[in-house]
Structure 1
Amino acid sequence: MDGTITVPQARPLIDHFGRHITYLRLSVTDRCDLRCVYCMKARPEFLPKSELLSLEELTQLSDAFIARGVTKIRVTGGEPLVRRDVMTLIENLGARLDTTALNEICLTTNATQLPRFAGDLVAAGIKRVNVSLDTLDEPTFSRLTRGGRLADTLAGIDAADAAGLKIKINTVALKDDNEHSLRELISWAHGRGFDLTLIEIMPLGEVDAARSDQFLSLEQVRADLERTWTLTPLTDNTGGPARYHRIEETGGRLGLITPLTENFCAGCNRVRLTCTGQLYMCLGRNGRLDLRAALREGGMAAVDALLDEAMALKPQAHDFDVSVGAATKVERTMAHTGG
């Protein structure tokens, strides 16, 4: 479907802390063609496809958020481009860029499917993509992704670049695994004209490793980088949680996402909708509302009412804990939640 849905009594989404919610992270699948060690178990149990929202339902729910003031939608997964016919949804969203308040759709991807889809994404209205890449070392890449090929991701990055997409590299900082090669990765990204954002590990779901063994403080990383590089703070804001710095020696921009060492929740402007229609008001909390049931049982008016409830329930902050022995408070994985 591609007709705009009108939601009754459209009002801005403002939580009880006064934060305007203008950013929706929309997951279209929990499936992925890689198996990253910080994201899922080696043998993940994927959701039955029958539980997923249809592409039409994803479009309807997107319209409900747009009508309530969401201006940016990021399509995520899992790996969103492995979902069959996902371009139908992306094209539907793209059609809303000229007819609604929506002013940006973007994508988070591991890039393996970009040689196939990059041109179509541009045609649909996507201008930038975030690409997950944690190392340029082939053996390390294969180990971290449990069998992935670095060449496939690099080919996808090349295809996106050739198609004119703006690329930002997202890198999870991992103790022992990539902490000593982050400088090389940053230099490579900046040399290609790409921004790069470092992300602290987030304790979402049970994986085959202790989070305390994976966690690397970005305070430590920044101190290491500043031994030889000059990091100048920037006021740039791309709508997400990253704080940006210019590295004078490379000329590039470095983002830092620090959910554990420097909580960024005060300015949170986003919510997450899973591929099964569960609305999470906070990445690090278990509270959720079932928009799938609301849509199927009560239609768009019921969805609209639940969005009001969501604003009343959105917490002030997460309470992530990666200390030794800490229990995992959020059972769902990042792949299920939407990256």
Structure 2
Amino acid sequence: MSDILHTPQLIDQFGRRVDYIRLSITDRCDFRCVYCMSEEMSFLPREEVLSLEECGRLVKTFVSLGVSKVRITGGEPLVRKNALSLFEDIGHLPGLRELTMTTNGSQLEHYAHALKKAGLHRINISVDSLDAERFRKITRVGDLNKVLRGIQAAKDAGFTNIKLNTVLMRGFNDDEAIPLLQFAIEQALDVAFIEEMPLGEVDHSRGSTYVSNQATLKLLQEHFPLVSSTETTGGPARYWRVAHTNTRVGFISPHSHNFCEACNRVRITCKGELFLCLGQESKIDLMPLLREHPHDDQPLRDAILASMHIKPKGHDFDLQRTAPAVIRFMSQTGG
């Protein structure tokens, strides 16, 4: 009998199997992207953040419950001191089919080779503009050339299927879909366009900056030979291939094409809050269980299993609302 039949599985109340977790290891970031953070952010004190050992324990517990894909996020995960030790701890964990990371790329030129050796399989790199001045405006402090060097370092380290993540915003960078895809083709990268999500109070009206992925797809089809694909990386993106290239184009569309019916993931904040949905407040606090039972994982396992009964059917994003759908910032939930 296969090992799969002996592995516990996380099944929610709607029959969806959860086999993918996104774990934030810090709420801090060296950028201040306008759709992700306010300009003046208050960050958590160290004692309110999971230790890297606790992060590793969480990953091992979820994997023991049938999770096969783990994404490490932040904030910016690589600004966390000794973050590499976590990748070394879990990178070759039996049962973990894929370990991935979302990063802004600013630290990759220093860590790419070590991350590859530690067992990281794939990297998503957030790039919202190829114009250095505009890039700095969107990130408030970011250096595009540093990120481009990070992308090259990841390629040199042997990472394949590197994916660029782009949030298009009207009035900021909505004219960059074509050059970003052209860049991805030239560099043999994938690219995903993500509709802006109403998380946290920001300095602009999201209704006025919203760019639908339907419009982006239509624009790209006029300039590139896109072929619909049934491929998946285990997340919410719907993919197209650019004919005669190695590049895939993904669209993550929480507004124009709700992806909740096939949701297979949960998120854990750097505070140990297990959020069952990106766009809802349903959560369970795991940090107390980790600290009250340092040598017994059963209470933690029981809480994770019980959480499946409160996982919502889906999010409820509405761009017409004056307040954000969720008060917490994307950087706090895990990007």
TM-score under structure 2 normalisation? 0.95
Distance 1:140 1:151 in 2: 12
Matching residue within 38, 44, 60 for 1:41:
38
Which residue in 1 is equivalent to 2:298?
Answer: 301
Distance in 2, Cα, partners of 1:337 & 1:37? 16
1:178 partner SS: coil
Alignment check: 8 A CA contact 2:50 2:272 kept:
yes
Contact kept, 8 Å, 1:190 with 1:196, in 2: the verdict is no
After superposition, the C-alpha distances for 1:184-224 in whole angstroms (9 at most, x for unaligned) are 11101111100000000001111122211221111111122
AA of the residue aligned to 2:207:
S
Q: Give, in whole Å, the separation in 2 of the partners of 1:63 and 1:225.
A: 41
1:255 deviates by 0.4
User: Which one is further off, 209-218 or 244-253?
Assistant: 244-253
Q: How does 1:1-150 map to 2 (within 5 A)?
A: 11-96=8-93, 100-150=94-144
Tell me which residue corresponds to 2:219: 224
> Which runs of structure 2 are paired with 1:182-331 in the superposition (5 Å)?
182-248=177-243, 252-298=247-293, 299-323=296-320, 325-331=321-327
| Letter matched to residue 302 of structure 1 | P
Once residues 230 and 159 of structure 2 are traced to their aligned partners in structure 1, the CA distance between those partners, rounded to angstroms, is 23
Cα deviations by residue, 1:266-302 (Å, 9 ceiling, x for unpaired): 1111000111100000001011100111222244221
**Paired residue secondary structure (2:251):** strand
Q: Is the 8 A contact 1:14 1:21 kept in 2?
A: yes
Deviation at 1:328, TM superposition (A): 1.4
- The residue that corresponds to 2:155 in the other structure is 161
Aligned equivalent of 1:5: none
Native 8 Å contact 1:198 1:256 kept in 2: yes
User: Which of 175, 178, 183 is 1:180 aligned to?
Assistant: 175
Task: Work out whether residues 187 and 250 of structure 1, in 8 Å CA contact, stay in contact via their aligned partners in 2.
Answer: no
- Pairwise CA distance, 1:64: 1.0
Measure, in 1, the Cα distance between the counterparts of 2:332 and 2:73.
Answer: 10
Secondary structure at the residue paired with 2:274?
Answer: strand
Q: 1:135 touches 1:182 (CA, 8 Å); kept in 2?
A: no
* CA distance in 2 between partners of 1:187 and 1:29 (Å): 33
Per the alignment, residue 3 of structure 2 pairs with: none
Q: Quick check: 76-85 or 41-50, which moved more? A: 41-50
SS of 2:134's equivalent in the other structure is: helix
Deviation track 1:111-145 (CA, whole Å, cap 9, x = no partner) reads 11011100110100112100000110111101000
Q: Secondary structure at the match of 2:249?
A: strand
Which residue of structure 2 lines up, in the alignment, with residue 3 of structure 1? none
Closer, same or farther in 2 for the Cα pair 1:227/1:102, shift >3 Å? same
Q: Does 1:332 align with 2:292?
A: no
CA distance in 2, matches of 1:186, 1:252: 9
What secondary structure is seen at the aligned counterpart in 2 of 1:245?
strand
Does structure 2 conserve the Cα–Cα contact (< 8 Å) formed by 1:128 and 1:165? Answer: yes
TM-score by length of 1: 0.93
- State the distance in 1 between where 2:319 and 2:332 align: 20
Measured after TM superposition, the shift of residue 249 of structure 1 is 7.0
**Code of the aligned partner of 1:239:** G
Deviations 1:140-163 (A, max 9, x none): 101000021111111111111111
Q: 1:308 to 1:286 in 2, by over 3 A?
A: same
State the AA in 2 paired with 1:336: Q
CA–CA distance in 2 between the matches of 1:210 and 1:44? 19
Report if the CA contact (8 A) 1:229-1:249 is conserved: no
Distance 2:225 2:56 in 1: 44
Amino acid of the structure 2 residue aligned with 1:169: L
CA distance in 1, matches of 2:319, 2:31: 24
Deviation, structure 1 residue 59: 1.0
Total equivalences in the alignment: 327
Identical-pair percentage: 45
Q: Deviations over 1:228-284 (max 9, x none)?
A: 333211010111100000123766210000000000111111000111100000001
Whole-angstrom CA distance in 1 between matches of 2:176 and 2:109: 27
Residue 178 of structure 1: how far off its partner (Å):
1.3
